[in-house]
Structure 1
Amino acid sequence: MASRLRIRGINLVYEDRGVGDVVVFIHGQPFNRSMWNYQSLVFSKTNRLIIPDLRGYGESVTTESIVLLDELALDIIYLLNELSIDKAVLVGLSMGGQIALEIYRLAPHLVKGLVLADTDARAETAVSYLNRKALAKRLLADGMESYTAENIAHYLCKNTFDTKQEVVDHLSTMMAGTDAAGAAAVQLGRAERRDHSGILSNIDFPVLIIVGDQDAFTPVATAEYMQARINGAGLAVIKDAGHMPNMEQPEQFNQLLKDYLDKV
């Protein structure tokens, strides 16, 4: 069941499930907390899970015109403080991984472990910066249904798209149901994101990097870039998966996460 707390000016909606060591799941864009359903049913039996809808997504509504990743990270830091949680493993996919690194930058004492899935520690390039700005305008003009119809296949590998209709349907529902204004505000903020490459060498706890072998947005080479800069980081490449391996190959993803949590 979802809960809500007044956090930094908005009603932040989140799930608080299970007991034990805390794991925070941070969703990507343009999704919501339900993308972690494939993990929450498993890990709520062994851990306490905090799974928020980020500001501007799902049920966490915002009216701001731009939302920086710093703001999304601070929302989670404040949420953990309100819940009297002083240590957690952060699991973030895509934008969620960038937010996890932002939390580590702002409040390293909170972070017990990091799982970075299909993400990139680097800032935007000059070209991708302009692309994000243009995409924000397009989302406002055309809406999320149009964006979803044209782009959903890019998030999944071909095998998933052709054979796993329930995953396609779930992803489509999340994307098309996202508030266009909220998504545009975060796209504008994400364009301004920091380059976290410089802090990777400071991480002194186990890190797991996961990537789908057919990820078109953050390919294996991007995961290898991060692994080379984090001392002792593990890298797992999930076969037959695109940008959403936790949904496309949940059994593989969950086993990797279980092994990591056992180690941490």
Structure 2
Amino acid sequence: MSRRTSAELHFVEHGEGVPVLALHGWTPDHRLMSGCLEPVFAGRRGYRRLYPDLPGMGRSAAPDDIASSDDVLSAVQDFVDETIGDAPFLLVGESYGGYLARGLARSRPEQVLGLALICPTGTAVEQADRTCPEHRVLRPDPDLVGSLEPRLAEEFTEIAVVQSAETLRRFQDEIMSGLDLADRTAMARIRQRWVLTTDPESGPAYQRPALILAGRQDSVVGYVDQFALLPHYPRASFAVLDVAGHNLQFEQPELFDALVREWLDRVAAESWSAC
């Protein structure tokens, strides 16, 4: 099969078994996904977790032919062809990665066994069109924030709903580490054509087990535009978590882990016998 792009995606892989492809959001890298998903899979065998860096992010370069979200999705399609092939797989996406994941599920509905979306970009793609609450800090820690160097303090407090030593640690390990690697020139080029040409929800409804997680205080993508996705995902559990913003996965880690495990159980209950 001929490649769609010239992009080669750096990735990290763990485990063996049914593939699980995890797509991170805009600007960070694969650690955003491995950081929240590896604890979930720690007690589960039989899954091969694939964590790529999207083009222009992490250690994946964005050649000149990557100039839109369509091109980024094409690079992900190439990655699937080369690392998974025709095998069935599970798909997880966070924020912008959730937007791409829906596009991928639209093009491979029979191959994607289950779809999980974490604070995904919803029906409104552009920031100006989104329905989002104002940023609120529900668990402040002014002493912690005051101890940080200015750039880290700015990045952390911009979207944090829970300010604690643990959320700061995970922000540094899973998000800030990727922000420092992003190719801003390439991302600006892609950002000019950010909306996918084909709406992910324009085709037939996705009929496999799904999960949509949203933060009640998410000031980046909100939760209202995600609720509007439900008609297209009739098998989706939809949860809006309080005391959670765009960093839902580590602001409400116990609920996050429980809901993702329940999604895995639903997928396993009806998929393995058909594989």
Question: Where does structure 1 differ by over 6 angstroms across 4 or more consecutive aligned residues?
Answer: 146-149
Q: Could you tell me which residue of structure 2 aligns to residue 39 of structure 1?
A: 37
- RMSD (Å) for aligned C-alpha atoms: 2.9
Task: Report deviation, 1:202.
Answer: 1.5
Instruction: Please say if residues 211 and 220 of structure 1, whose CA atoms lie closer than 8 Å, have aligned partners that are also in contact.
Output: yes
Gaps of 5+ in 1: 1-5, 130-145
Structure 2 residue 225 is the aligned partner of structure 1 residue 187: no
Task: Report deviation, 1:147.
Answer: 8.9
Distance 1:124 1:39, change over 3 A: closer
Deviations 1:127-155 (A, max 9, x none): 559xxxxxxxxxxxxxxxx9977554333
Aligned residue identity for 2:36:
Y
Q: Could you tell me which residue of structure 2 aligns to residue 226 of structure 1?
A: 229
Q: Could you tell me which residue of structure 2 aligns to residue 135 of structure 1?
A: none
Task: Report deviation, 1:162.
Answer: 7.5
Aligned residue identity for 1:202:
A
For the residues of structure 1 that align with 2:222 and 2:209, how far apart are their CA atoms? 22
Q: Could you tell me which residue of structure 1 aligns to residue 208 of structure 2?
A: 205
Structure 2 residue 154 is the aligned partner of structure 1 residue 153: no
| Larger helix proportion of the pair | 1
For the residues of structure 2 that align with 1:40 and 1:187, how far apart are their CA atoms? 30
Distance 1:102 1:148, change over 3 A: farther
Identity among equivalent pairs (%)? 24
Distance 1:34 1:124, change over 3 A: closer
Distance 1:105 1:83, change over 3 A: same
Q: Could you tell me which residue of structure 2 aligns to residue 70 of structure 1?
A: 70
Structure 2 residue 261 is the aligned partner of structure 1 residue 258: yes
Q: Give matches, 1:1-264, under 5 Å.
A: 8-36=5-33, 37-43=35-41, 45-46=44-45, 47-64=47-64, 67-85=67-85, 86-124=87-125, 127=128, 152-157=156-161, 159-160=162-163, 164-170=167-173, 171-191=175-195, 194-199=198-203, 202-264=205-267
For the residues of structure 2 that align with 1:28 and 1:161, how far apart are their CA atoms? 23
Larger radius of gyration, structure 1 or 2? 2
TM-score using structure 1 length: 0.79
Task: Report deviation, 1:28.
Answer: 0.1
Q: Could you tell me which residue of structure 1 aligns to residue 138 of structure 2?
A: none
Deviations 1:25-74 (A, max 9, x none): 10001110011223124416421101100111100012428532222222
For the residues of structure 2 that align with 1:251 and 1:231, how far apart are their CA atoms? 25
Q: Give aligned pairs, total.
A: 241
Instruction: Please say if residues 103 and 199 of structure 2, whose CA atoms lie closer than 8 Å, have aligned partners that are also in contact.
Output: no
Distance 1:173 1:161, change over 3 A: farther
Task: Report deviation, 1:97.
Answer: 0.7
Secondary structure of 2:28's aligned partner? coil
Secondary structure of 1:177's aligned partner? coil
For the residues of structure 1 that align with 2:151 and 2:110, how far apart are their CA atoms? 39
